[in-house]
Amino acid sequence: MTAPASPPSPSAAPQGPTLATQLRHTAACVLAVEQGRSLSEALPALPPSLRPGVQALTFHALRQLGTARALVAQLVSRKPAPPVQALLCSAVALLLDAGDDGQAPRYPAHTVVNQAVEAARQDRRSERQAPFVNACLRRFLRERETLMAAVAHDPVARWNHPLWWIERLQRDHPDNWQAILEANNQPGPMVLRVNRRRTDRARYQQALQAVGLASTPVGSDGLVLDAPQPVDRLPGFAQGDCSVQDAAAQMAAELLLDGRHWGPSDRVLDACAAPGGKTAHLLEHAELNLLALDVDPRRCERITDTLARLGLQAQVRAADAGQPAQWWDGQQFDAILLDAPCTASGIVRRHPDVRWLRRASDVDALVAIQRQLLAALWPLLKPGGRLLYATCSVFRAEGAEQARAFLVHHTDAREAPSPGHLLPGLAAPPGQFNDNGSRGHDGFFYARFDKAGP
């Protein structure tokens, strides 16, 4: 048995990007979000060597942005230029003792200040403000306790969500709104879905153990990893043994297909399918004649890639599900999955930019789109068929209220048992939808409508 290799000496270790460089790009990402751009656009533009560190810092900054904005407002007499404001917020967020599960890097306070000043010098838009950045951050360190007390009663600073979002959650979930907001400010766990066509969960869990990765079962096919990992560390990932998918999203296939035998003659529509996780899970459960739609051709390529890695087949088409005249062949479906466009208010812990990008008016606009999709797709369902309506939202307007309105206007629809609203940070409802007591799922809503028979 050979002895383990000695770790390389510090002098031999490769030098990564400095904190100043990472902070400069973090501030640019925070500024992009404040200007209305998604991180899914901003982060891929970074060099690969910078992306992991900058993503971690940016996620941390956005989880603390309400507090950081309030503190920066206390530190300045006049709001600085947007690049300087974004840098100050990013640095202040890093100086806060957030306790967000250790996912954001931690540095000594003097290092953060010095590197933030250097980041200002590196950016031509803020280089002349480097002394101002230094003065603000050093004042924060001197007066931290007083400054924190000054913003303590600001709900946006306390909960790090827009005020309209907080107030809507207070109305929608009066008993759980605080738990939802607290969960949103923590990173979500990494959850795997085992491909039951290639292996089973027990064997795959053993394969994970063999490479030193601990996990806990969740749902029917899921495993929650004790710590997030790069996918290239997952045994058999490239060969399709597993996928990364949250526990709440994994409920869709079972809710749609449960209770009957399915085969290649059954026509199933996944109406808003990209990136293809739920499409694949349906096909892992059963051989189906499945059509996967998405309005964006580029996102359709992701569905195709997902299916190819998992060894699954479906017809993938770029089309607007809400306009059946453009794509439907006139043959009704046995089952339809409508994972409708929504505010994404249930997946904020994985996408911390969402809370700052959304506006209160977006809710009504998305509710109207959901209503139109439901109305357009219901006639495409066979008598005796089933439609599963899903959103990754915790807002009742996109969930329970939408389902109630649908039932009022479609007298041939019957609501089957389904979990309704799943809330992040809270266990799933007891009974058949219990996910082994896991508190690891995202926020979601499910309602299944069965169509009256002939």
Query: Are 249 and 207 spatial neighbours (Cβ–Cβ below 8 Å)?
Result: no
In the set 29, 89, 242, 392, the catalytic residue is: 392
Rounded Cα distance between 233 and 27, Å, is 31
For residue 194, give the DSSP letter. Answer: E
Query: Are 252 and 224 spatial neighbours (Cβ–Cβ below 8 Å)?
Result: no
Residues 6+ apart with CB under 8 A from 411: none
Residues 6+ apart with CB under 8 A from 270: 278, 279, 282, 290, 291, 292, 293, 314, 337, 339
Helix (H, G, I), strand (E, B) or coil at 332: coil
Tokens found for residue 39: 């991180």
Q: 272-281 burial string, b = 16+ CB within 10 Å, else e?
A: bbbebbbbbb
Q: How many helices (H) and strands (E) does the chain have?
A: 17, 11
Rounded Cα distance between 291 and 297, Å, is 15
Q: Which helix (H) or strand (E) holds 173?
A: none
DSSP alpha helices (H): ranges in 123-272? 130-151, 155-159, 163-172, 177-184, 201-210, 251-257
Is 300 annotated in the active site? no
The residues annotated as belonging to the active site are 392
